[in-house]
A = this chain, B = another copy of it.
């Protein structure tokens, strides 16, 4: 079966996020008020062939650990849906 996998990689709580801080700092000069807690992460999507949704999730989580996210500074959230449903 074919699955559509989406991985959200975001900084762990307490880890500095310079890109988010820069966006936040420039907002008032663009006329945007009342916006805070800006955080910037990475969104990775891909298609995966797997025997089941559980297998797809397991392999996607292993891929996060080995390549997509740095567990010291980042957390990864994996979403798996059958291809075509997203």
Residues of A in contact with B (beta carbons under 8 Å apart) = 8-10, 20, 23-24, 26-27, 30, 32-50, 59, 63, 66-68
Contact = CB atoms under 8 A, between A and B. Distances in A.
Main secondary structure of the interface of A (DSSP, over half): strand
- Tell me the number of copies of this protein: 2
Given A23-B67, A49-B34, A8 B39 contact: no
A35 B48 contact: yes
B41 A47 contact: no
Contact of A59 (B24, B32, B38, B49): B32
Nearest to A6: B8
Nearest to A59: B32
Nearest to A49: B34
